[in-house]
Amino acid sequence: MSVAVITGSSGLVGSEAARHFVRKGLDVIGIDNHMRGFFFGDGASSEWQRHVLERDLGNAYRHVDSDIRDTSALEALFRDCGTAISLVVHTAAQPSHDWAARAPITDFAVNAVGTLHLLDATRRYAPDAVFIFTSTNKVYGDRPNYLPLVEWPTRWEIAPDHPYTGGIREDMSIDQSLHSPFGASKVAADVLVQEYARYYGLRSVCFRPGCLTGPTHSGTELHGFLAHLLKCAVMQRPYTVFGYRGKQVRDNLHCADLVRAFDCVFEAPQAGAVYNMGGGRFCNCSVLEAIQLAEELLGRPFRWTYEEKNRIGDHMWWISDTSKFSSHYPQWRCSYNVRQLCREICEHSKYRWMTADA
């Protein structure tokens, strides 16, 4: 028996990873205590996904309603499974700048200390397992905002002759910039994951994604921009754009594409590696462009308002350069462009939100 332990298993990436690795033949233990609902309210809860996983995956999936800050529970689970654990996928997190600013101690305990607990349990009980961590592009703080950006009619863009024209690489410094408490807690976790590879020899790898999304994303105003925007469009609810004239750019990556990248690492891990990961030049949009696309896909205007003040530490322009990952794993490709991604989210939103009290 080969076991994958997946934290945040009811969330967007965790649930996709659970399905993928069950199809691959692994038994999956999902750890999720539904803190997303606590962070962002019932409308953002992913608890519904737990029941879908249990229904669809049957005995190959076992859910553990536990908190990654609970060291005794984690130790008992890892001790019981031991070397049967061949993979740990750590996606559980507090993911919002704004929420972290209000409760920085809880944010750090979940993001940094929780990651440390998982790393050390893996080191002691499953030292040969591959450990995959979903970090974030927010570890770079606001440094991307100091790139030479040019204002276009619907977006900010980088100067055409800049080394990062194809996307931001891993050689950008994460030091001496404004991160927000959320960014700082993820930096701590990110560096710990690297250090457990270099110092202890754990086969641990960091992904630094930008905007992750997909049809099962329980997006909310504080986290999950594209899914939340499209949900508002489908439900004909007002949407607020915060700062930068709505021209801030994000690359967007379907959760299935990210999990296929996880599988590449599982098969041939590069211990201690760090990868920027996103839709790159293939799949990106500004907020204004996402609004225009939503109107086009739904065939009606979209109600939105603008607030001049941007979120602290928010990026004006982020496009990932994924060439480092592609050089290590040339079989991987990003498969969803922006239109395909938005169409899929809209269709799922019509089914899910229009048939339930959201």
Give me Rg for the CA atoms of the chain: 19
Residues 58, 117: Cα–Cα separation, whole Å: 28
pLDDT of residue 228: 87
Residues 248, 287: Cα–Cα separation, whole Å: 6
Whole-number average pLDDT of the chain: 92
Range of the domain at 323: 3-353
- Answer yes or no: is pLDDT of 357 > 50: no
pLDDT of residue 358: 41
Q: Pairing between strand 3-7 and 27-31? A: parallel
Span 171-198, pLDDT tens digits? 999 999 999 999 999 999 999 999 999 9
Residues 331, 282: Cα–Cα separation, whole Å: 16
Span 58-108, pLDDT tens digits? 999 999 999 999 999 999 999 999 999 999 999 999 888 888 899 999 999
Secondary element (H or E) of residue 131? strand 130-134
Secondary element (H or E) of residue 208? strand 203-209
Cβ-Cβ contacts under 8 Å for 357 (sequence gap 6 or more): none
In a domain, 44, yes or no: yes
Residues 192, 263: Cα–Cα separation, whole Å: 22
Q: Residue 209, Cβ neighbours under 10 Å: how many?
A: 23
| Position 242, amino acid | F
**315 neighbors 144 (Cβ within 8 angstroms):** yes
In a domain, 358, yes or no: no
CA terminus-to-terminus distance, the chain:
40
Share of the chain above pLDDT 70, in %: 93
Residues 202, 199: Cα–Cα separation, whole Å: 8
In a domain, 227, yes or no: yes
In a domain, 344, yes or no: yes
In a domain, 21, yes or no: yes
Span 1-41, pLDDT tens digits? 799 999 999 999 999 999 999 999 999 999 999 876 667 67
Of 130-134, 139-143, 219-223, 285-289, which range is least confident?
Answer: 219-223
- Residue 64, SS3? strand
| Domain count of the fold of the chain | 1
**Averaged pLDDT for residues 208-214:** 91
Q: Residue 259, Cβ neighbours under 10 Å: how many?
A: 22
In a domain, 288, yes or no: yes
Half-sphere exposure of 114 (CA within 13 A, CB side): 25
Secondary element (H or E) of residue 85? strand 85-90
Based on DSSP, count helices (H) and strands (E) in the chain, helices before strands. Answer: 13, 15
Residues 334, 260: Cα–Cα separation, whole Å: 9
| Position 119, amino acid | L
**43 neighbors 228 (Cβ within 8 angstroms):** no
DSSP code at position 238: -
In a domain, 188, yes or no: yes
CATH value at residue 178: 3.40.50.720
